[in-house]
Structure 1
């Protein structure tokens, strides 16, 4: 495999964030006396804040007080992730260490706001691995649009077609493949859907499996 850089999603891929986030969304729904709609929630994974709002408003209908739910959810979430390290997923440190030892540039392309993403990576002890951080607030079109991956590759000065991309969500895979990157999917809360399987990302159970494939034998 001829690659010159590696670009990683963050939540659900590097960090075991998605279960934390879903649990807090449930709490916010309860506090606001609205139902927790799991199918709606799972379809927001991988999207930036504008995409999340659009999907939730469509899923819950016009009677939802979205601003109130959003503030409740955001405040509860930030109270956790800005002060506690989120567990790092299997194989993350090993793969990043191997890439760094081989002088392969790396970046994060996450839908999360930049200030929160920096804190999460710092608390988890991963920030020193990455050459740059590209976030959802820096692009006009969030995932599944390819813009965030194209910007991350541009900042690394690497042709997108020479980049490996690592994602957990279906929205993220759509984004990376649209950017013409060599895409790995490491499923987390959401399994690959039929249209994702047709796009043919390389699906593996963990980043440890990826490392075994990338290392010369």
Structure 2
């Protein structure tokens, strides 16, 4: 293998966060007597804070401030104190990449402080050489900036980087960064446009590991 780095999304890919987050958002809507727009919610997956706010602003208008405060308070109460379950195949793949001497990074839309806490509580921090987060870039996913920054920090050529994503927005970012991209769908299935990229779409990180071992 000639790959110079492996770069992972976090929520929905390493950690089974998306279901937890969506349920908390739904509860926040109920408490604030606001509708839960499922399709609107699913469209924010993979985006950074600025991208999420722009989408929710259109859906909730002046009610967004109180909804967001309710959601954030409830969400932080969970993720800052409880370990989010690790997705199947994560540890095995990370251990194997380490054994191959490949540097590993996280490129997540989540803000830095929360991302660090999630990885620490899940026991994953030790595997990563770098953490690049949504608050460190001007343009969030689907823009490739976060992946390019993560690769730069590892002194890696994007063309020789592996990227692992669950969401369509994340895949758009990784593909735009010209990385070898694997998609492991979580809450949202790949749309027709994304399927057309020709990247690998598999059911779990176990499948990714099997594939990489055959290269």
Give the TM-score normalised by structure 1. Answer: 0.97
- Return the offset for 1:2: 3.6
2:161 is matched with 163
2:122 is the counterpart of 1:139: no
CA distance in 1, matches of 2:197, 2:135: 27
CA distance in 2, matches of 1:32, 1:89: 31
1:97 is matched with 95
Deviations 1:29-87 (A, max 9, x none): 11111100000000000000100011111233x3x421111111011000000000000
2:112 is the counterpart of 1:114: yes
1:174 is matched with 172
- Return the offset for 1:216: 4.2
Alignment of 1:1-217 (within 5 A): 2-60=2-60, 62=61, 64-216=62-214
- Return the offset for 1:199: 1.2
Q: Which runs of 5+ in 1 are unaligned?
A: none
Q: Which runs of 5+ in 2 are unaligned?
A: none
RMSD: 1.0
Q: Which moved more, 1:195-204 or 1:12-21?
A: 195-204
CA distance in 2, matches of 1:147, 1:4: 18
CA distance in 2, matches of 1:53, 1:94: 35
Deviations 1:130-159 (A, max 9, x none): 000000000000000000000000000000
Give runs of ≥4 in structure 1 deviating > 3 Å. none
Deviations 1:106-145 (A, max 9, x none): 0000000100000000000000000000000000000000
2:196 match: secondary structure: helix
1:165 match: secondary structure: strand
